[in-house]
Amino acid sequence: MSSTAFADGASIPRRYTCDGENVSPPLDFDGVPGDAAELVVLVEDPDAPHGTFVHWVVWGIDPHETALGTGELPSGAEQGRNSFGKRGYGGPCPPKGKSHRYVFSVLAADAKPTLPQGASADDVKRALTGHTAAYGTLTGRYGR
CATH class of 14-142: alpha beta
Give the per-residue pLDDT at 53.
98
Give ∠ CA 101-129-103 in degrees, rounded to 5: 10
Domain map of the chain by residue range?
14-142
Give the per-residue pLDDT at 137.
98
**Predicted confidence (pLDDT) per residue in 77-94, tens digit:** 999 999 999 999 999 999
The CA-based dihedral angle spanning residues 74, 78, 82, 87, taken in that order and rounded to the nearest 10 degrees: 90
Q: DSSP letter string over 19-74?
A: TTT--PPPEE-----TT--EEEEEEEETT-TTS-EEEEEEEEE-TT--EE-TT---
Give the per-residue pLDDT at 109.
97
Bridge partners for 49 per DSSP:
none
C-beta separation of 93 from 19 below 8 A = yes
C-beta separation of 144 from 92 below 8 A = no
**Which residues of the chain, if any, have pLDDT below 50?**
none
Phi, psi of 113 (to 5 degrees): -70, 150
Give the per-residue pLDDT at 5.
98
